[in-house]
Structure 1
Amino acid sequence: DALHGTDVFGTSLVLAKAVEKAGFDLVVCGMASTDGSMGVLPALLAERLGVPQVTLLSEVSVGGGVVRGRRDGDAASEQLEAQLPAVVSVTDQSGEARYPSFKGIMAAKKKPVESWDLEDLGVEAGEVGLEGAWSRVEEAAARPARTAGTIVTDEGEGGRQVAEFLAGQKFI
């Protein structure tokens, strides 16, 4: 409940404290979330942890104390690397998901799950949640219903009618 309304800055704080407490060599993040779609959490997390970040990777490999990856852009691909410990984010092109077997699922159910609250992580309640959010949504309204469009039946004048409509809307 104390995290309700937390923005990406508060989320990065809580995750960084949890990762530090658990210990890590490599933190793997997705490229965006379904809540804010900001894509900045890996960078904020790396900054809070004081480790390098390598983001938007479509391929990842780890070996010899280094994480390596390929970032694909519109015009070129880059080969990147960073010393561990590090934070990486991967794109949806980074590989197919591996699904656990039934045996793996049953074994996972027997594993203990440790839960930490803000106090366990050393986070003050005022640093997160709505109170600690650096940004907030002041107002939200549902989109208005779509109105019916204009149907142009082409009987020789369709092109002119479309052009007049576009010009009237100041699209051309």
Structure 2
Amino acid sequence: MKIAVCVKYIPDLQSERRIEDGRMVRGEDDTLNELDENAIEAAVSLVEKHGGEVVAFSMGPEDAEDAVMRALQMGADRGVLITDEQLAGSDVYATASVLSAAILSHEAEAPFDLVVTGMASFDGMTFMLPAALATYLGRPYMGLAKETEVTSNLVRITRESDGYLDQLEAPFPAVISVTDQANDPRYPNFKAMAAARKKPLEVWDLDELLGRVAQANASFELGPVGAQSSGTNILDVSVLPERENRVVVTDTGDGGKKLAEYIAQVVSR
């Protein structure tokens, strides 16, 4: 099997985030998107079982190389980072277009059977990238997989949906996203970390990417990229103000009674 896994470098959820000019400052305390760890684990586990290789792709600032390196430490065989100032501010469609181009550029010798992503990124939370990837690549998409199985020519997923268990299948090549319930991502040991430093990790700018696509004879036209060309843009980001006039109830054994009295007081106003 040949599997592509897409990963993202985002601000650490536990870090103190900083905002300048209505935008979140990136690159100060960033890390691999936690939900992408499930995608890496799913891809690596499938290759361990069926053979093949995993190639990790990312688009982001130069520091996003750390996210790709993490994927290599977790078992991916190769990595590609597309980084260019022209890409700054790209929306989900532009991001999907760039990642699709990078994936297609690696298909000159053999196509990817599967493209795997996390279900979302904790910074954007659009949940739209996997479907956008599938659209640009012209491949079937199945999202929010809790379990994944493959045969010689298709992928089958199980997912929870509105109280039901859905089972879906699609022929290769396909795109899937996995949830944080799909697996328990491995923690790389020292041996895996050392081995990752010897694995290929390519860093391309936009011109290099377009050249690679041309060399692969891929019939793909890169869409608009960057903040000025994207269909959607972030207008402003601001910190939520702290709530005022809060009532703190200290539970000394009668907390439930005090809470009930407070609720009754508020309702009667």
Query: What band does the TM-score fall into relative to the shorter chain?
Result: 0.7 to 0.9
Separation in 1, partners of 2:229, 2:135 = 19
RMSD over equivalenced CA pairs, Å: 2.6
Separation in 2, partners of 1:51, 1:158 = 54
For the pair 1:45 / 2:133, whether they are aligned, the reply is yes
Separation in 2, partners of 1:36, 1:137 = 10
Higher RCO (CA < 8 A, seq sep 6+): 1
Separation in 2, partners of 1:77, 1:165 = 42
Change in 2 beyond 3 A, CA 1:159/1:68: closer
For the pair 1:129 / 2:226, whether they are aligned, the reply is yes
1:18-66: per-residue Cα shift (whole Å, max 9, x none)? 1111122111100010221111100000000000011100001112110
The structure number with the bigger radius of gyration is 1
1:91-121: per-residue Cα shift (whole Å, max 9, x none)? 0111111233433322221122122221222
Separation in 1, partners of 2:181, 2:258 = 47
| Cross-structure match for 1:146 | 243
The 5 Å alignment of 1:93-132 reads: 93-122=181-210, 127-132=224-229
Change in 2 beyond 3 A, CA 1:159/1:102: closer
The alpha carbon displacement at 1:167 in A equals 5.4
For the pair 1:163 / 2:260, whether they are aligned, the reply is no
The alpha carbon displacement at 1:14 in A equals 0.5
The alignment's TM-score, normalised by the length of structure 1, stands at 0.84
The alignment's TM-score, normalised by the length of structure 2, stands at 0.55
- SS of the counterpart of 2:116? strand
Separation in 2, partners of 1:93, 1:157 = 38
| Cross-structure match for 2:215 | none
| Matching residue's letter, 2:246 | G
- SS of the counterpart of 1:46? helix
| Matching residue's letter, 2:88 | H
| Cross-structure match for 2:168 | 80
Which is worse superposed, 85-94 or 126-135? 126-135
Aligned length: 166
| Cross-structure match for 2:214 | none
- Ranges in structure 1 where 5+ consecutive residues have no aligned partner: none
Change in 2 beyond 3 A, CA 1:6/1:166: farther
- SS of the counterpart of 1:80? strand
| Cross-structure match for 2:8 | none
Separation in 2, partners of 1:100, 1:158 = 47
Percent identity at matched positions?
A: 41
Separation in 2, partners of 1:67, 1:157 = 55
